[in-house]
Amino acid sequence: MKHLVIPFLALLGLMACSQQQRVSNHSPSMDYGEKGPVKNSDHVMAKLENGIDFTASGNEPFWSLEMNMDSTLTFKTLNGDSVVIPTPKGIKPMDVAATGYRTKVGDRDLHVMIFDKLCEDNMSGKEFAKTVEVTYGKNKYTGCGTFLSDYRLNDIWVLESVNQNSIDITQFPKGLPRLELILNRNQVFAFAGCNEFSGSIEIQGKKIRFGRFSGTLMACQNMSFESEYVSHLANKTVPFHMEPGKLILQVGKDSTYQYKKVD
């Protein structure tokens, strides 16, 4: 098949960067062996099952933070402060790679800033993906944090249905669309039925944040499907849930992609 002269990715209105933004490959929530991640600890899995997406802590004085991005934020300090509130809406500042969460608790302001910057714990020496600052009233706390991630995502997934409608294999002579999620490198490799794509990912509890995609520029049949398919993933944050051998992405309010594990 000949390559297109026109910029196919531009027509998708998405993509492509010649250089991927650096994303940390440190994930303290899971261990990695030579062949990839191994099973999460019971402690981490319990937090995931309880809906916790993000955890952080700091020393001198000790403090801890747990966030369910769709529900509650819990902040505690060693001196007895304990705050459990609805998680404020995240706001991204214009001049820094970070997300801020600000609210008022009684007569005190609470402001959580999660920076996309590597952080080394000053006691354990462990490296985390996020630097965190919490301002509570007149006190400021600094430390390290990470999004929790489910090791079961680290696999190859082949699309089997869209909105619960089974994929017609005859429409994909080059093979069914698939995703390969590589958690220890925060990368995704994708095949959309015609073209190959790659990009960054960040697992955020029960959501996957896909970065920009770059890929090949082949022209095939059924290009309208590929365009729509990629547009639902590239540069999007997508909720997911898992069933035995299945991965379901909630790509729209009433739209789902269901994949099956193939390796």
- Planar angle of CA 40, 238, 53, nearest 5 degrees: 40
- Planar angle of CA 144, 28, 158, nearest 5 degrees: 125
Instruction: Encode pLDDT of 53-90 as tens digits.
Output: 999 999 989 999 999 999 999 999 998 889 999 999 99
Instruction: Encode pLDDT of 168-222 as tens digits.
Output: 999 999 999 999 999 989 999 999 999 999 999 999 999 999 999 999 999 987 7
Instruction: Encode pLDDT of 128-171 as tens digits.
Output: 999 999 999 999 999 999 999 998 999 999 999 999 999 999 99
Judge: domain 8-25+150-261, CATH 2.40.128.270. yes
CATH 2.40.128.270 domain span(s) along the chain:
8-25+150-261
Share of the chain above pLDDT 90, in %: 73
**Helix, coil or strand: residue 20:** coil
